[in-house]
Structure 1
Amino acid sequence: MIQITFINNDRKVVSAPENSNLLRVSLREQGGIPFKCGGGICGTCKCRIEQGLEHADEVKPKERKHLSDEQLAQGYRMACQTFVRGDIAVSW
């Protein structure tokens, strides 16, 4: 199991299986990441992985439509497109 810390939600910490989708964990555990479509179309679930960016999977093409190279380098991702392999802390 991995640990996900939702910084904007009073630093709420939840456990999830490795390779979990970040938005699905947020929805299931009431983490609080905002969303609308859940499919990479709207960009509402843009968030920043503050710690543990190395534990996120590769950037998807849908993310590149909403995030610049600079934002990606700063740790921004779209929660609906991101799968997590280790402990992270995320803000939005």
Structure 2
Amino acid sequence: MIQITFISNNAKVVSAPEGGNLLRISLREQGGIPFKCGGGLCGTCKCLVEKGVEHTDAVKAKEKKHLSEDELKQGWRMACQTFVNGDIAVSWKPRVLAR
């Protein structure tokens, strides 16, 4: 089992099987990563892997449509497209709700 720390959700720590999808883990464990489509189309699940980016799989083409090269170098990923193979810590910007 690996550990995922959801920094933006009061540093909630959960255990998950190795090789799991980050967004699915967040949904199952109430990690709090925001999302709309879950399929790489909207970019809503953009998040920053602050620790353990080396434990994520390769960046997908869908991510390159939503994230700049600079963002990718900093560790930004789309949770719906990211699979995790070791311990990570992830954060995201809170969603601003339209009024």
TM-score by length of 1: 0.99
Q: Distance in 1 between the 2:22 and 2:79 partners?
A: 5
Extract unaligned runs of 5+ from structure 2. Answer: 93-99
**Correspondence for 2:6:** 6
Secondary structure of 2:4 counterpart = strand
The CA deviation string for residues 64-83 of structure 1, in whole angstroms up to 9 with x for no partner, is 00001100000000000000
Extract unaligned runs of 5+ from structure 1. Answer: none
2:65 alignment partner AA: K
Secondary structure of 2:38 counterpart = coil
RMSD of the TM alignment (CA)? 0.3
Number of equivalenced pairs: 92
Select the structure of larger CA radius of gyration: 2
- Matching of residue 15 in structure 1 with residue 44 in structure 2: no
Give % identity: 77
Compute the displacement of 1:37 (Å): 0.1
Q: Distance in 2 between the 1:37 and 1:44 partners?
A: 8
Secondary structure of 1:64 counterpart = helix
TM-score by length of 2: 0.92
Q: Distance in 1 between the 2:21 and 2:74 partners?
A: 20
Q: Distance in 2 between the 1:67 and 1:9 partners?
A: 22
Compute the displacement of 1:91 (Å): 0.1
Compute the displacement of 1:84 (Å): 0.2
